[in-house]
Structure 1
Amino acid sequence: MSTLLFAAIVFTLACYVLSMALALVRMVRGPSAQDRVLAMDLIWTIGMLLLLVLAIRYRNSAYFEAALLIAIFGFVSSASMAKFLLRGEVIE
């Protein structure tokens, strides 16, 4: 692995960790439930991106499968939370 790629991966991981920490702060301090759901969705997305960068770093395809699972679970949880906030119930 070239030093430029290694430096880019380290910088990217640092930015993702910082943005995940800021989203976690928003999720804890969010003034409304919608802010908390949006922060949760952002944390799911950043977690998926973290796994994709780690897959490139370690050249392991298992990270891609884990990122796909995170994407699926993130979408389902965001959709169900949005439906709960709109209607007050998830299952009709």
Structure 2
Amino acid sequence: MAEKNGELSTIRGAALSGSVMIASSWSTTPIEPMAHEAKTKNVSLWFQLYVYKDKSITTSLLTRAQDSGCKAIVLTVDTPVLGNRLADARNGFSLPDGLT
């Protein structure tokens, strides 16, 4: 949201600091270009995964992460339902068009 190249710039930062990059299931950049960038920068790419009620979504995300060469899965299981973001509503915050 704050940087036009989003996760790709974060990968470049991870390369400079010798860190891993954990890509979110909700990233604004698809996993495939992130994997390409991580490979060119010699960054270990991990994939953070939410477990969805629709198992086909979870399976699809896992397959894409595996096919992209992600080295680990970071499983998030504490958010079965997204919370009601009262502060965002109160402050009139919404994501810009094109972001989810």
Q: Is the TM value for this pair above 0.5?
A: no
Structure ranking higher in strand proportion: 2
Give the structure with higher Rg (CA): 1
TM-score (norm 2): 0.27
TM-score (norm 1): 0.28
